[in-house]
Chains A and B, each alone.
Chain A
Amino acid sequence: MSHDSYPQPHGDGSWIGRSVPRVEDDRLLRGNGRYVDDIALPGAVEAAFLRSPHAHARIDSVDVSAALAAPGVVAVWTGDDVADLPAMLNKEELRTPPGLAELLDPVVRMTPMPLLAADKVLYVGQPVAVVFAENRYLAEDALELVDVRYSPLAVLVDPELSLTPDAPLLHEELPDNTAVTVATRVGDPDTAFANAHAVVSERFEAHRYVASPIETRAISAQVDPYSGRLTIWSGTQTPHRLRDAIAHTLGLGPAAVHVIAADVGGGFGQKGILYVEELIVPHAARRIGRPVLWREDRNENLTSSSHAREQIHRIELAADSEGLIIAIRDRITVNFGAYNMTGLVVPYNSLCHLLGPYRIPNVDIDVVGVLTSTTFATPYRGAGRPETVFAMERAMDRLAAELGIEPEKLRARNLVGPDAMPYATGLVDRSGRPQTYDSGDYPELLRRAVAKADVQGVRARQRAGARNGKYVGIGFAMYIEATGLGPFETARIDIAPSGRVRLAIGAPSQGQGHRTSMAQIAADAIGVPFDVIDVVGGDTEATPFGVGTIASRALVNAGNATHRAGRLVREKIVEAAARRLGVEADGLGLSDGVVASKEPGGPSIGLAELAGRAPLPGTPEPADGRYGTEISETVHFRPPGFAVSSGAHAAVVEVDAHTGGIEILHYVVVHDAGNIVNPMIAEGQVTGGIAQGIGGALYEEMVYGPDGQPRTGTYMDYLVPTSSEIPDLDMEETFTPSPMNDLGVKGLGEGGAIAPQAVLAGAVEDALRPFGVVVRRGPLSPSRVRDLIRTAGRT
């Protein structure tokens, strides 16, 4: 197996740019991974949560006496037992950046979440009580004995109904069910619409689906009897935020809490936010005086861990007679579910990614985040972008049909060109700065996608007519993604006395292979072999400051922090060697872990000797009184702006008009993430993202009944695609290095997941053109495809 076919942006013998096989794998392949549930804590009790069966209800009474008497039960808590702790509020995520506050004055209403519901429940799955028992079996036995009496209240599942004036209030302290509003205008959209040659006006819906990592969420906590401190193992993507939240909730200093994100079995955003279970478990470890483990089951994960994606777009495009888009208007409704967990993150991502790679001078966008009686929704791989790209690209297809232009040609006509870079959209970015696309060649992405997808071949097949009721179609979708969200990330490099290099970064890995890619960066920056580097990620002891692995940010932020720390360490090593060797630093070079004179035959010293000279018996006292040289550097990298990735997807599908079945015949992706550190890992990230997008486009939906009951609470009903459903991809890259950071990299963890819903909807709509079908919502299940054909035929 080789990835030599990849272009090698740094093909000069450096580690960056090579498909270095992952150092993570050996341990994981032997079954030696250490996910939270694998870490044995002698004497641990296991927690199980009693969750609300109602979507909205008042809690009249809770009786735990029978549960307390059940075998193996150590403690049972209700809302009253944790009433002394503050309700959960993820302040980091809910904060409005100053620039945004000043320019757009968004409304963000706080809805603190009680650690255990005491007065009322707001979604099916909300924790009401918790049992701690000798094991999970016994804890679940006791859960059945907790007697809760509820008075059901009116349920709101549809966000548009939630906004009506007579809708019942879900959070009684708020004036209505609105959690967030934000709006932006550029130019003069009203006049542009009034003067347009053509206008399309549509309502598109992004449906609710979920991250569904194969490892569910888990956390364990132990009080260290020696230091009295709390040690937490959590499958979190943001260990430092978790540490701070635990410390705040329990009234401890941050130094009293140590969070370790051990092996994490996939996160995709769902493990990047804060949950009440993560606060209760550490509290219990202290109060009960034994280690406590909680491990979510699949039903809990599907129904009670964060959901995502549900949005309604009432979108309008205005174009002139040449097919140039002159204005866009969109009214976006985001279903937040029961609590406002992450504020502007998703709504604003949708807003500021709506224009995508297109040049649109007049803009009018309103976004409202709405509270409903469903599980809260938060960022999931793409975080507002797949939704907004679905709306925008669907609208592009409708405009193309309206104007009688081929969809790829309409897109090409409206792209921002490479000569326009850096390009200011006129909007404000998520950090509150003028939104700027730093780099990219969007026309080239589209050109390559069009060429690979063989549009002419598809059109020829379409002209030949359907065979056996099978219709071929092609779709296109483009996106941009502002990656590398700040505010910062940390890298600390230490040279151990053995000469090994320890790199600690704030961002943990959930499968992204940081131990490999970050070591590649460090090896090049310092000038040491790859295999002397040990990488630690997501341990709050190793890096007291950090943010995490969310928002396609780890490579940009932790990668550049690593690079800078490595360069500084390199300088220190050379200076120390110069002192040791008694020569000028200018005359020394460092490569492959050896500092050597640039002159042939000159002196040299290895890293181990430099760092580790110890007072062995008989060793003379060093002249400077120091044994070895302590070399370390810590860098907090603060990105000056977003590194903007981009991509063009194309898909050719065949739709069976009889069965509604869709077969993906060819899936093309051309993407740009700047310089690539490890092409094999990068390709894997994009491929995995696309698979999740295909899942959302064709299979996955988190369905609620009108009573607020989730109807897809198991893997029997929530359909994660298997190998048989995901085709091989036809992938290519362009490389436009980002000028926003030393490495020229852009994030790519989310990109793959952004376009598939849009591109597959476009392809199916194109295939079913003879029926006059318009795709306004997914997932495109066979039943829904048949509905489209049937209803189109009737009108």
Chain B
Amino acid sequence: MTPSVPTPLAARTPPLAEPSAWHEISLTVNGRPVTAQVESRLLLSDFLRDRLGLTGTHVGCEHGVCGACTVLVDDEPVRTCLILAVQCRGTEIRTVEGLAPGDAPLTSVQQAFHECHGMQCGFCTPGFVLTTTALTEQSDRPDGEQVADALSGHLCRCTGYRNIRRAVCQALGERFGE
């Protein structure tokens, strides 16, 4: 049922009269090496979306509050609207498309959001899923305060958060034991 979306596309350099200086960057995105020409001012969010076709990274506010554009850079959740693409030389980036590529089964975090109905419109979901993924990748189980702190870095306008908290709880339970 699910159409498989090719990810990532080859980096695309648009032929346009960009006044700011261009730089070549090489980095890893979802396990694949990428080399691209980017303008100095190109935000990482726009690089991922417009140049690599990874539109699962959503742009909600462009000033670092809503968290919809969160991805993992070197395993840490960060806002892609507050990072320039040119700052990402040599980094390893994971986006939501990289979690369960192609027809691979959903990860336990993704599955938890599905089972707990921790999503409605889906726009904020990739950000929440990636922050939760980072929590499950910590060596020790994060305490309640750390989880609350991490989740408060994301806005959701649909769910009222209750089912998101349930989903995170379920995913952490599966990773670390109840």
User: CA of A40 to CA of B52 in the docked complex: distance in angstroms?
Assistant: 12
Task: Pick the interface stretch among A31-39, A151-159, A275-283, A612-620.
Answer: A31-39
Q: Are B164 and A715 in contact (CB under 8 A)?
A: no
A720 touching B157, Cβ below 8 Å: yes
Residue B96 lies at the interface, judged by CB distance under 8 Å to chain A:
yes
| Cβ of A5 under 8 Å from chain B | no
A483 CA / B23 CA spacing, docked (Å): 56
Q: Does B175 contact A (CB under 8 A)?
A: no
Q: CA separation between A23 and B2, bound complex, in Å?
A: 10
Given the known interface contacts A31-B56, A691-B161, A723-B148, the answer about A511 and B61 at a Cβ–Cβ threshold of 8 Å is no
Per-position 1/0 for B1-17, Cβ under 8 A of A: 11101010000001011
Taking a contact as CB atoms under 8 Å apart, the answer to whether B2 and A266 are in contact is no
Q: Name the distance in Å between B25's Cβ and chain A's nearest Cβ.
A: 17
Known: A134-B16, A687-B160. A716 touches B56 (CB 8 A): no
Contacts of B123 in A (CB 8 A): 33, 35, 213-215, 263, 265-266
Most buried by A among B42, B50, B162, B170: B162
B106–A680 CB distance below 8 A: no
Contact with A along B142-169 (1 / 0, CB 8 A): 0000001001111111111111111000
Taking CB atoms, residues of chain A closer than 8 Å to B97 are 30-32
Chain B, interface residues (CB within 8 Å), range: 35 or more
Cβ–Cβ contact B55 & A216, under 8 A: no
CB-CB nearest in chain B for A216: B60
Say which one of A454-462, A518-526, A724-732 lies at the interface with B. Answer: A724-732
Tell whether A348 is near chain B: CB-to-CB under 8 Å.
no
Decide yes or no whether B126 CB sits under 8 A from chain A: yes
Q: A138 contacts the other chain (Cβ, under 8 Å)?
A: yes
Please report whether the interface of chain A is mostly helix, strand, loop or mixed according to DSSP: loop
B63 lies within 8 A of A298 (CB): yes
**Interface assignment of B114: CB less than 8 Å from any CB of chain A:** yes
CA distance A691 to B17 in the complex (A): 46
How big is chain A's contact interface, by range?
35 or more
Chain A window 711-751, contacts with chain B (Cβ cutoff 8 Å), 1 for yes, 0 for no: 00011100010111010110000000000000000000000
Contact flag A726-B117 (CB < 8 Å), given A37-B59, A714-B63, A715-B66: no
* B122:A716 contact, CB within 8 angstroms: no
Complex Cα gap A213–B153 (Å): 16
Distance, CA A493 to CA B56, complexed state (A) = 31
> Cβ of A726 and Cβ of B163 under 8 Å apart?
no
B5: nearest residue on chain A (CB-CB)? A32
Whole-angstrom CA separation of A456 from B16 in the bound complex: 70
Asked if A485 is an interface residue, CB under 8 A from chain B, the answer is no
B152 in contact with A723 (CB, 8 Å): yes
CB distance from A598 to the nearest CB of B (A): 33
A689 to B120, CA, bound (A): 12
Q: B122 and A729: CB pair below 8 A?
A: no
Given contacts A264-B121, A511-B121, A723-B151, contact A33 B56 (CB under 8 A): yes
Complex Cα gap A211–B62 (Å): 18
Q: In the complex, what's the smallest C-beta–C-beta distance from B161 to chain A, in angstroms?
A: 4
A716 touches B63 (CB 8 A): yes
Cα–Cα, bound, A24→B95 (Å): 20
Contact B110 A29 (CB under 8 A): yes
**One of B115, B119, B120 near A1 (C-beta < 8 A):** B115
A35→B125 CA distance, assembly (Å) = 13
In the bound complex, CA of A212 to CA of B54 (Å): 24
Docked Cα-Cα span, A728 to B49, in Å, equals 35
Check A728 against B58 for contact (C-beta < 8 Å).
no
Contacts of A297 in B (CB 8 A): 62
Q: Does B80 contact A (CB under 8 A)?
A: no
Contacts of B163 in A (CB 8 A): 684, 687
Contacting residues of chain B (40-81) with chain A, CB-CB under 8 angstroms: 41-42, 49-50, 53-63, 65-66, 68
Residues of B within 8 A of A71 (CB): 16-19
* Residues of chain A with a CB closer than 8 A to B157's CB: 211-214, 266, 268, 688, 691-692, 720
Q: Which residue of A lies closest to B156 (CB)?
A: A214
Is B106's CB under 8 angstroms from A29's CB? yes
CA distance A297 to B154 in the complex (A): 17
| Bound-state Cα–Cα, A140 to B157, Å | 28
With an 8 A cutoff between CB atoms, is A25 at the interface?
Answer: yes
Sampled A-B contacts (14; CB under 8 Å): A21-B115, A22-B114, A24-B122, A29-B106, A31-B95, A31-B126, A137-B41, A265-B58, A297-B62, A680-B117, A688-B120, A716-B65, A723-B164, A726-B161
Residues of A that sit less than 8 Å from B by CB: 1, 21-35, 37-38, 40, 71-72, 134-135, 137-138, 141, 211-216, 263-266, 268, 297-298, 510-513, 680-681, 683-684, 687-692, 714-716, 720, 722-724, 726, 728-729, 752
The chain B residues found within 8 Å of chain A, CB to CB, are 1-3, 5, 7, 14, 16-19, 39, 41-42, 49-50, 53-63, 65-66, 68, 95-97, 99-100, 106, 110, 112-117, 119-126, 129, 148, 151-166, 170
Closest 4 CB pairs of A and B: A31-B56, A511-B121, A265-B123, A28-B122
